[in-house]
Chain A
Amino acid sequence: MSFWEYANPRKFLTTSERVLPLVWGLAAITTLVGLVWGFFFTPDDFRMGSTVKIIFLHVPSALMAINAWFMMLLASIIWIVRRHHVSALAAKAAAPVGAIMTVIALVTGAIWGQPMWGTWWEWDPRLTSFLVLFLFYLGYIALWEAIEDPDTAADLTSILCLVGSVFAVLSRYAVLFWNQGLHQGASLSLDKEENIADVFSNPLYVCMVGFALLFLALVLYRTGTEIRLRRMKALIARERLEG
C-alpha cells in the first residue's frame, strides 16, 4: 500500500475514523499521566522552587508550536509539488492547533519569567522569534479565511508557510547561535551532564509524547472536518447551479 493512497479524501476519512478513537485515548492517558506525575510527584527545584512544574506545560507546548509549523511546511510542499487536496487541508487543520500551542508556550513562559527573571517579557531572540511565529500563525489562518477559492488559498498559504519557516527555525535554534538574551538553553540534552535530572526529565518525556499524540488526534479530526466542509461547499455550489 502506498502512502499516497491517503491523498484520496475518502480513504483518508475511513482510515482516520478507524484510528482516531485509539489516538484520542492514548493522547488523553499520556497527557494526563505526564501532567499528574509532573505536578504532584516531582520535588521543587533548589533554585526555581515549585515553578519548575511549569516546565511540563511550557516545553511540550513550545515543541509542538514549532513542530506544527514544520508539519504544515511539509504538507504545503506536498500541495505545491503534487497538488493533493488532503495535504493542503491538513496544513489548514494544523494551524489553529499550532497557534494555541504557541499561546500556551508564550503565556506559561511569561508567568514563569515574572518571578524568575523579574519581568513578564524581554525582547530576547527566542521570545521574539516565538512571538513572530505566533503572528505568522494568525496571518496564515486569516489568509485561508480571506480567499474564497480553496486552491488559490492553498497556494498562497503554502508560500506564507515557506516564509514563516524561517521563524520556526529561529524559534528552535535562536538560543544556540545568538549568544544573548535571557532564555536559557535546551532543558533536555543527550549529554547526561547538561540534561535536567531524571526526576524531572522522565515526566517531561511523557508530557511531550502526550502533547504530540494530542496534536496528531486534533489534526486528524480537523482534517476530516475540512474535507467534509469542502465537499459541503461543492454540493451547495452545484445545487445553486442546478437552480
Chain B
Amino acid sequence: MELGKYADTVLSTYAVSLALLIGLVVWTILRGQKIRKELRKIEERGHIDG
C-alpha cells in the first residue's frame, strides 16, 4: 500500500483519532473500575440498604 505525498496527512489523522478513541475507552473502564471498588468498600462498611 502506497500513501504517496499525502502519507503524513493520512497517518496523522489515524494516529490522533485512534489515540482519542483508545484513550476514551481506557479512561471509561479505569474510572468505572475505581468507582465500583469504592462503592463496594462503602457497602462493606455496613450501609447496604438493598
Contacts and interface: CB of A to CB of B under 8 A. Distances in A.
Contact of A107 (B4, B13, B38): B13
Interface string A212-233: 0010001001101100110110
Contacts of A228: 32, 35-36, 39
B29 to A, nearest CB: 7
B24 A100 contact: yes
A89 interface: no
Given A103-B20, A218-B25, A231 B13 contact: no
Interface in B2-46: 2-7, 9-10, 12-14, 16-17, 20-21, 24-25, 28-29, 31-32, 35-36, 38-39, 42-43, 45
A50 interface: yes
A238 B38 CA distance: 16
Interface in A40-87: 40, 44, 49-51, 53-54, 57-58, 61
A231 B42 CA distance: 10
B17 A61 contact: yes
A112 interface: yes
A224 B32 contact: yes
Given A103-B20, A225-B35, A57 B28 contact: no
Contacts of B6: 49-51, 115
A54 B12 CA distance: 10
A114 interface: yes
Contact of B35 (A61, A112, A115, A232): A232
Contacts of B9: 51, 54, 111-112, 114-115
Contacts of B36: 225, 228
A214 B28 CA distance: 12
A190 B35 CA distance: 45
A107 B16 CA distance: 8
A213 to B, nearest CB: 12
Interface string A96-136: 11001001100110011011000000000000000000000
Interface of B: 1-7, 9-10, 12-14, 16-17, 20-21, 24-25, 28-29, 31-32, 35-36, 38-39, 42-43, 45, 47
24 contacts: A39-B1, A44-B4, A49-B6, A51-B9, A53-B10, A54-B9, A54-B10, A57-B14, A57-B17, A96-B24, A97-B24, A100-B21, A107-B13, A107-B20, A111-B9, A111-B16, A112-B13, A115-B6, A225-B32, A225-B35, A228-B35, A229-B35, A231-B39, A236-B42
